[in-house]
Structure 1
Amino acid sequence: MKKIINSPNAPAPIGAYNQAVLKGNMLYTSGQIAINPKTGNLEIDDITSETKRVMENLKAVLSEVNMTFENVLKASIFISDMKKFKEVNAVYATYFSEESAPARETVEVANLPKFVNVEISMIASL
């Protein structure tokens, strides 16, 4: 049986989906964008702060089921401009140790929800 996960410390879904689904010991997060959960406003002034907000939103979802970034097995990064990869990667890397970093792909896309610059989703396991 799947369990729907929604954290009050991450932005509410803006469509017909939930923040995450827990099935057994596996957590599948929806993509997070840089919406501040307290204000509902986008934080897209620069790619560094935007990526940090995305990662903090994911951290909130993970913590809702007592997980951390150490539990993450796979991450998917969608970015609107691959020229910004270096900055996104620099922020992303601060949330993981090199020895236990998850598998990952980074894909440049034409557009993202609300025309943000980066969206990240994750799969984690207890």
Structure 2
Amino acid sequence: MTRRAYTTTEAPDPRGNYSQVVSAGNLVVTAGFGPVDPRTRAIVGDEIGEQTRQTLRNVAAALAAANCDMRDVVKVTAHLANADRDWAGFDEVFPEFFDQPYPVRTTAGSELGDILVEIDVIAVRPED
């Protein structure tokens, strides 16, 4: 199975030694993205809904670089800086980006520094 990394200027550049998105066969995995504007590198928004939207826009851009979209996502892993306070606002945004049947999801509380949310996904690229 061949692994291939993809990059796009439509999602934030990695801040370390990792790829934005990698495929292995039809499996596509993104790095964790936060609510960072890919052009300015500024954090977008100060509440969970705004930050979740920007984060999911970044995820969608990374998937597009690998010829996928949000309909191809089967697994979402999300980290919230304040899970008790922000879970409902975070969850409310999902139908804007995902259709039913929704992908499976794990959501955990995590130390995220200056951001409220970080998300990575696993997608299955459609057969050509």
Give unpaired runs (5+ residues) of structure 1.
none
For residues 1-58 of structure 1, the C-alpha deviation after alignment (integer angstroms, 9 at most, x for no partner) is 2101111100000111111111111101010001100111111422111111000000
In the alignment, is residue 74 of structure 1 matched against residue 83 of structure 2? no
Query: What secondary structure does 2:75 align onto?
Result: strand
- Which of 96, 99, 110 in structure 1 is aligned with 2:98? 96
1:42 paired to 2:49:
no
1:51 paired to 2:89: no
- 2: CA distance between counterparts of 1:115 and 1:92? 22
Q: 2:3, 2:22 within 8 Å by CA — same for their partners in 1?
A: yes
Per the TM alignment, residue 125 of structure 1 is displaced from its structure 2 partner at its CA by: 0.5
C-alpha contact (below 8 Å) 2:21/2:66 kept by paired residues: no
> Alpha carbon RMSD of aligned pairs, Å?
1.1
Matching residue's letter, 1:2:
R
In 2, the alpha carbon distance for the partners of 1:72 and 1:39 equals 27
Aligned length: 123
What is aligned with 1:115? 114
Q: 1:96 Cα shift?
A: 1.1
In structure 2, the residue matched to 1:125 is 124
Matches within 5 A, 1:19-30: 19-30=20-31
Q: Is there any run of 5+ residues in structure 2 with no aligned partner, and where?
A: none
How many angstroms apart in 1 are the aligned matches of 2:57 and 2:39?
12
- TM-score, normalised via structure 2 length: 0.91
| Structure 2 CA distance for aligned equivalents of residues 105 and 46 of structure 1 | 21
Q: What's the TM-score, normalizing by structure 1?
A: 0.92
CA distance in 2, matches of 1:21, 1:56: 18
Q: What is the alpha-carbon distance in structure 1 between the residues aligned to residue 36 and residue 12 of structure 2?
A: 6
Which runs of at least 4 in structure 1 moved beyond 6 Å after TM superposition?
none
